[in-house]
Chain A
Amino acid sequence: MKKKNVTVIVLTVAVLFIMGMTAGLIRGSSNKPIKEFTAFFDVQGEEINEDNEIRELIAQKIGARCIEQWLSGKSAEDAIASFIASGEYTDLISGSTMLYEAGALIPIDAYWDNYPNIKAFLPAEVWDRFRQPDGHIYWIPQFGIVHGKSAEVLHEGEAFWIQTRVLKWAGYPEIRTLDAYFDLLEAYVAANPMLEDQANIPFTILCDDWRDFCLENPPQFLDGYPNDGSCMVDVETQTVLDYNTTETARRYFQKLNEEYNKGIVDQEFYTQSYQEYLEKLASGRVLGMVDQWWQFSYAINNSLERLSDQGCGYVPLPITIDSSITNQWHVKRGTELSVADGIAITVSCEDIAGAMQFLNDILDEEIIKLRYWGIEGVDYEVSENGMYFRTPEQRGKSRDMEYKNAHFCIYSHLPRIEGMLSDGMNAFSPEYQEEEFLNGLVPDVRECLAAYGCRTYVEMLGTNDAPGAWFPMYSFSEMLTQESMAGRVWDRMKSIKSEYLPRVVMTEDFDAMWQQYMENYEACQPEIFFDAMQQELERRIKISE
């Protein structure tokens, strides 16, 4: 090798080293008084720009900002586990039992006396439900904390959804049962097999990894129970019921099996990834699916708006197994408070007081408005009588990804106060402002809702109060870990379900497969799990009395 070459290489290496080292110093040397906190959320999310305008504005006002990091691997548990393994955390994190057990979190109730927004975020008796075995509170719930009245317009939860073109084609019939739903899909696809040059997909279900709950939990809704998630609760007798083994469960899966064999259920429903699922939906080819609104809506809204003239928007249907059963798909917002998780401060945080102050400050009304509405005169307008509204142009901008990343900073997974602002007339977010919701509806969806005499999704389903103080029970099962027998049984049950449910749907011999599934399911000893659920139910009832 020639001398010259060696020199060049040595120089390059030296330069690159210096580059690598100095890259670290550039950021560190900024000496603004603004505090910066890092946060990790165990869901996938959109990273906003480094120089995001509203984040800077909020930082100027409260003296702190938060750098959000989102899940980038496949599962949330792995990500959390890698934090635990390393023993190093972001300042803020999606708190959970796993982190509590690892000693990763600091008790917020030991610090909250100076931070009224946090302490008064929930009534004391509700805060008590967040106490861990050691008597302390470690996380603040982010969603569903309603101060004042909540506008019930969005149905964020689960439902059987259907495209408006199907309903329109059939003359807007009343669809109340699972059988009627599939009959309609069959009839429509027989008459209209294609959307432009592509085949319609009559029905699909998202089953990617942990997102398979929409395959396994509809039996509870079909039986007219609300979303307790891992069990049903009989209100009369106050007992926990298993929805996996009911006659309804069997009928539901048998129906799916029939429809699968007829080619109505997407042949790939089980093997498709979340991405592929969203792409199918965005293409407008999927006539119906059972899913929770938040899983698909944000991702495909823009695509469906373009397909609105073809009637590709989705509306929820109040479906049960039998028309005599009243559905409880929708439960009033604010009653469905999950105590299983929330935002927590970790032991790695060097400025706990500063982090508490930050969480406290972002709950101030002024900041809430900035987070969700944006800047007055730029992102929204105020009418003469004080109502907030957006012009069509502002509404369009708020959905533009590039603009959103550069401008808006909603801190979506930090705590928020929902319901009404203190003026009593405006919702905390345009999404929940009735006028805004209606103006933002895709034309075909609005037309379809009107045909049923409804204005909102919620009116399509009807609304319900929470059945009792225990609701929802999934907040307990989600907290179970391997430490307890019930937790281990719960894991085995989930594992058996994820292995057998697709088989049950895809089999050619339903009865045999169902029996095999039931045998394996019973072998997990689910009664151990349900005993624990029953105890928790009784404990919760007792606390509330």
Chain B
Amino acid sequence: MASQDKKRTITWKEVKKQKVLIIWSLIIVVYGVIFCYLPLAGWMMAFQDYKPKNGLFHSAFIGLAKFEQLFSDSTFIRVIRNTLGMGVINLVVTFVAAIVFAILLNEVKSNGGKKTVQTISYLPHFLSWIIVTGILHDALSSTGIINELLLKFHILDQPLNFFAHPKYFWPIVAFANVWKETGWNAIIYLSAITAIDPSLYEAANMDGAGRWARIRYVTLPGIKPTIMILLLMNVGNVLNAGFEIQYLLGNGLVKSVSETIDIYVLKWGISQNDFSIGTAAGIFKSFVSIVLIVIANQIAKKNGEERLF
């Protein structure tokens, strides 16, 4: 597949043959340019001392001053650390959880049980973050179910205020992500698993492979392309560690670990009426994402794996 791309030559005959595809592509590209690329003119703001009064086209240009301001701000450095930290943890944890859950669910023999568990596992995905954080706040409060259980089993002798300690914040966010998305993310793997050629399992059985060997040598390789494409997509999203959950769960005590780039942009950009700094941070994020995605894509290409483009 890869070699075809390189040797490709555009001939009139081919173009004519693909007329329909090209016309549709053009329509779609026009849409994309308007809705996805035209707003990028807003990136100008990062190089301006943007004043809402003057608008995008009449604000003074100030070069890279906003970027310098960003990177000299110790808060921003901390915010990058938090974003990367939570981004990587969330990526790894939700990714692994979904795959493990899909594989384990596949090992459940009863069809009814399988379907029931599957249906229930999706429920949390339909809850918005505001509701999920509400539930979390209730569950983790001093009279909440978690503290009640911990007290009952004498793991604690007095209620623990989870939201007061920075060390619990990242795990809470990771757990919330796992809780909300595992069932949902697993659906793609489950369908990939069932698409695996049954004869492979039979062959494995004839070779006397146990359950573990079947998972390892048949199931996992079978869903590898799916894993790869999702992994690639998510690598670029590492800096999108989230906004709502940290925003809704954060407070002054855990600020040092809870603020992500998006919150920083909102707090020090928009709330302070400084849209330029927010735009600069946004450009930085996009830049990092694209670099990561290109690297990951190249690696995938080199190893002959599924890739994004």
Contact = CB atoms under 8 A, between A and B. Distances in A.
Interface of A: 74-75, 77-78, 81-82, 84-85, 87, 98, 101-104, 207, 212, 267-268, 270-273, 276, 481-482, 491, 498-499, 501-503, 506
B164 A271 contact: yes
A98 B161 contact: no
Interface in B229-272: 247-248, 251-253, 255-256, 266, 270-272
Given A78-B266, A78-B270, A102-B273, A270 B251 contact: yes
B275 A102 contact: no
B53 A270 contact: no
Contacts of A503: 253
A273 B253 contact: no
A499 B252 contact: yes
Contacts of A74: 247-248
B273 A268 contact: no
B137 interface: yes
B201 interface: no
Given A102-B52, A268-B142, A276-B141, A81 B273 contact: yes
B131 to A, nearest CB: 13
B273 A271 contact: no
A276 B273 contact: no
B163 interface: yes
A506 B164 contact: yes
B164 A270 contact: yes
A270 B252 contact: yes
A482 B267 CA distance: 12
Contact of B161 (A101, A104, A271, A499): A271
B306 interface: no
Interface of B: 51-53, 137, 141-142, 159, 161, 163-164, 247-248, 251-253, 255-256, 266, 270-275
B15 to A, nearest CB: 32
29 contacts: A77-B270, A77-B271, A78-B271, A81-B271, A81-B273, A82-B270, A85-B270, A98-B273, A101-B53, A101-B273, A102-B52, A102-B53, A103-B52, A207-B251, A212-B252, A267-B142, A268-B141, A268-B161, A270-B253, A271-B164, A271-B251, A272-B141, A481-B273, A482-B274, A498-B255, A499-B252, A502-B251, A502-B252, A506-B164
A481 B137 CA distance: 33
Nearest to A481: B273
A481 B248 CA distance: 25
Contact of A87 (B52, B272, B273): B52
B137 A273 contact: yes
A14 to B, nearest CB: 22
Nearest to B251: A271
A235 B248 CA distance: 42
B52 A502 contact: no
Nearest to A215: B252
Contact of B253 (A81, A82, A84, A502): A502
Nearest to B137: A273
Contacts of A506: 164, 253
Given A84-B52, A499-B252, 10 more contacts: A77-B271, A81-B270, A81-B273, A267-B161, A268-B141, A276-B137, A482-B272, A482-B274, A502-B253, A503-B253
Contacts of A481: 272-273
A509 to B, nearest CB: 16
B273 A491 contact: no
A87 B266 CA distance: 17
Residue among B164, B256, B275 facing the most chain A CB atoms (10 A cut-off) = B164
A498 B258 CA distance: 14
A537 B78 CA distance: 38
B266 to A, nearest CB: 6
Contact of B255 (A75, A273, A499): A499
Contact of B273 (A75, A84, A207, A273): A84
A82 B255 CA distance: 23
B159 A267 contact: yes
A75 B161 contact: no
Contacts of A212: 252
A102 B51 CA distance: 7
B2 to A, nearest CB: 35
Contacts of B159: 267
Residue among B142, B253, B274 facing the most chain A CB atoms (10 A cut-off) = B253
Closest 3 CB pairs of A and B: A103-B53, A498-B252, A271-B163
Residue among B141, B256, B272 facing the most chain A CB atoms (10 A cut-off) = B272
A212 B251 CA distance: 11
A136 B168 CA distance: 51
Residue among B142, B164, B248, B251 facing the most chain A CB atoms (10 A cut-off) = B251
A52 to B, nearest CB: 28
Residue among B52, B266, B274 facing the most chain A CB atoms (10 A cut-off) = B52
A212 B142 CA distance: 21
A152 B274 CA distance: 43
Residue among A81, A101, A267, A276 facing the most chain B CB atoms (10 A cut-off) = A81
Nearest to A86: B52
Contacts of A103: 52-53
Contacts of B266: 78
Contact of B272 (A102, A270, A273, A491): A491
B121 to A, nearest CB: 29
Nearest to A488: B272
A272 B52 CA distance: 36
A478 B137 CA distance: 31
Contacts of B275: 85
Contacts of B137: 273, 276
A74 B253 CA distance: 18
Nearest to B255: A499
Contacts of A98: 273
B60 to A, nearest CB: 14
B201 to A, nearest CB: 32
A82 B142 CA distance: 36
Contacts of B163: 271
A223 to B, nearest CB: 24
Contacts of B270: 77-78, 81-82, 85
A101 B248 CA distance: 29
Contacts of B164: 268, 270-271, 502, 506
B271 A75 contact: yes
